[in-house]
Amino acid sequence: MRRRGRGERTPLNAEINVVSLIDVMMLLMIIFMITAPMMTGGVDVSLPRAEARPLNAKSSLVISITSDGRIFADEVSLSLSEFRGTIRGLAAEAGRQGVYLRADRRADYGRVVEVLAIMRAAGIGNIGLVTEPEEISR
């Protein structure tokens, strides 16, 4: 081996060590895989199944009715009287294209009709009923 002289430069090493980058990437992937299911929000309801085309409800108000009759506007729990008083203001918020109603399949039919009647009385004409896609059996 030859020794370097006083004014000689060391040769450049243009290799990138990607092993540490792969470790960081794998760690981030595991973190995202664990936290992604927790990020899906909303009220837990068991929707009825029906044959329908999917809708995009990202900017719309979602009203949920649970199996025990509780009412949620997006994720905020409301009593029936609170819902009656605030639905007009909630639906009039900027960016609301319509209102979607998610009712649990075991929810009381009378409660669902009551909520629909309150929304219609508040002047909401564009109400969508949310369902799960029907499973095709072969």
Distance CA 129, CA 109 (A): 13
List of domains in the chain? 49-133 (3.30.420.270)
Between the two ends of the chain, the Cα-to-Cα distance in Å is 74
Per DSSP, the three-state class of 126 is coil
User: pLDDT (tens digit, 9 = 90+) per residue, 42-60?
Assistant: 666 666 666 666 555 556 7
Buried b (16+ CB within 10 A) or exposed e, 94-118: eeeeebbbbbbeebeeebbebbbeb
User: pLDDT (tens digit, 9 = 90+) per residue, 71-100?
Assistant: 998 888 999 999 999 888 887 773 456 788
